[in-house]
Amino acid sequence: MAFVTATLAFGDRARKAYSEISGWLMENLTWMYIGGISAVFIFLIVVFVSRYGNLRLGDDDDEPDVRC
């Protein structure tokens, strides 16, 4: 909430600051971003193909809650 309030209050200065921070992060930490996303993706694939991929979340007799 404070982040949104500060962004709305400072407008152009906040946009400039966020742009500078984003540029620095992409220039210096791109390898960490790509590595982190890759690690999460590999973790999800491992969970999907392991025995935990078929784990039911809820009671054994629960039916899926289908809402449109």
pLDDT at 56: 79
| C-alpha closest to that of 53 among 44, 61, 62 | 44
Question: For position 53, what pLDDT does the model report?
Answer: 86
Residue (of 23, 25, 24) closest to 34 by Cα position:
25
Above 90 in pLDDT, residue 44? yes
- pLDDT bin (cut points 50, 70, 90) of residue 30 is very high
What confidence score (pLDDT) does residue 24 get? 94
Over 80: is that where the pLDDT of 4 sits? yes
In whole angstroms, what is the distance from residue 42 CA to residue 50 CA? 12
